[in-house]
A and B are shown apart, each in its own frame.
Chain A
Amino acid sequence: DAKTTQPTSMDCAEGRAANLPCNHSTISGNEYVYWYRQIHSQGPQYIIHGLKNNETNEMASLIITEDRKSSTLILPHATLRDTAVYYCIVRVSWEWGGTSYGKLTFGQGTILTVHP
């Protein structure tokens, strides 16, 4: 699976949009971009994933560049509860037969701190 590069930490004011960048310049054509976050002492929480189109759900938006070498996770209105470590991961997600053996490998992620 391709590696990703994320800033070590970021700050964001409460109520503002948090834009978390991720570089994945060696991504393969069949690899998806996944975003997870982990709040202290809890299991990671799935946020969103995409292949090449921009995606939006109730939690966030994912913007993937046309060449797929980078992406941005957007939390439109950050709250104090969004303070967490955010992980960007690329992974082969689906293979014929519905079973995937692609690993979900975690890097160090970005520590996002939302302040009042």
Chain B
Amino acid sequence: GAVVSQHPSWVICKSGTSVKIECRSLDFQATTMFWYRQFPKQSLMLMATSNEGSKATYEQGVEKDKFLINHASLTLSTLTVTSAHPEDSSFYICSAESTGGPTSGNTIYFGEGSWLTVV
């Protein structure tokens, strides 16, 4: 299947600093990418949908000024957690949509995830 790569796989940062997570679609172009977060023993929670060249659409309750999303190209989206706090520690996962067609449908592929620990 198609490959979506996230970097870094894990990161530790100090409280108050910002951290950036990259998401790349390696073998296809993705006009739409999605960002999720997941707390231990919980399901994935959608944070925002980003479309190449336009502003991201955030889910209710997600602070857009805290979680900055940039989708500057068809193969790269970034999530920046600004002024990180310990409660932002979580597993962040991106996904990218590969265009199929009206008969086969699109497929969304996920990255490996990034563990963020804020100390």
Contact residue among A43, A46, A93, A108 (Cβ-Cβ distance under 8 Å from B113) = A43
Whole-angstrom CA separation of A42 from B95 in the bound complex: 13
Whole-angstrom CA separation of A80 from B49 in the bound complex: 34
Of A8-16, A17-25, A61-69, A98-106, the one touching chain B: A98-106
Name the residue on A nearest B36 (C-beta). A106
B106 within 8 Å of A by Cβ? yes
A93 touches B100 (CB 8 A): yes
Contact residue among A41, A46, A98 (Cβ-Cβ distance under 8 Å from B110) = A46
B113 touches A41 (CB 8 A): yes
A-chain residues with CB within 8 Å of residue B6 when the two chains form the complex: 43
Residues in A13-68 with C-beta less than 8 Å from chain B: 32, 34, 36, 38, 41-46, 49, 51
- Size of B's binding interface in residues, CB under 8 A: 31
Name the residue on A nearest B97 (C-beta). A100
A-chain residues with CB within 8 Å of residue B91 when the two chains form the complex: 41
Whole-angstrom CA separation of A38 from B41 in the bound complex: 12
B49 touches A44 (CB 8 A): no
B-chain residues with CB within 8 Å of residue A44 when the two chains form the complex: 44, 93, 95, 110
Chain B residues in the interface with A (C-beta under 8 A): 1, 4, 6, 31-32, 34, 36, 43-46, 49, 51, 91, 93, 95, 97, 99-102, 105-113, 115
16 further A-B pairs in the complex, CB-CB below 8 A; given A93-B100, A94-B99, A94-B106: A41-B91, A42-B112, A43-B4, A43-B93, A43-B111, A43-B113, A44-B44, A44-B110, A46-B109, A46-B110, A87-B43, A93-B105, A94-B100, A99-B99, A101-B49, A103-B34
